[in-house]
Structure 1
Amino acid sequence: MTKQPKQVVNVTKNRIACDGGIGGHPRVWLQIAAGETSVECPYCDCKFILEDSATAQ
């Protein structure tokens, strides 16, 4: 059984900060690896999806 992400966010950069929102978790920096299209936060399971028009940072 695959768990569903808490939230899905489209992003334009491959380096993202996630803090879980209000009362969430410590801020973590996530990196969408080359050749990948998404990454999930290990704390809150929020999924960040890289848009087609995104630029690498």
Structure 2
Amino acid sequence: MGEILVKENLTYEKRPVVVIDYKLNELRGKSTGLVKILWVATTGETTWEIEQLCRE
């Protein structure tokens, strides 16, 4: 299991574990790639995030 680095203000940065799924969302003629990310392997916490933001 990885280490958790705690900052001076007692916060930490959550890092994704693995990308589970991908889908293309189309609204008003614009396409946005979405990825489903597993954040905590022990609890199974997942969220859909914008692909471009995850790459940064």
Q: Same fold (TM over 0.5)?
A: no
Highest Rg: 1 or 2?
A: 2
TM-score by length of 2: 0.30
Q: Which has the higher contact order (CA 8 A, sep 6+)?
A: 1
TM-score by length of 1: 0.30
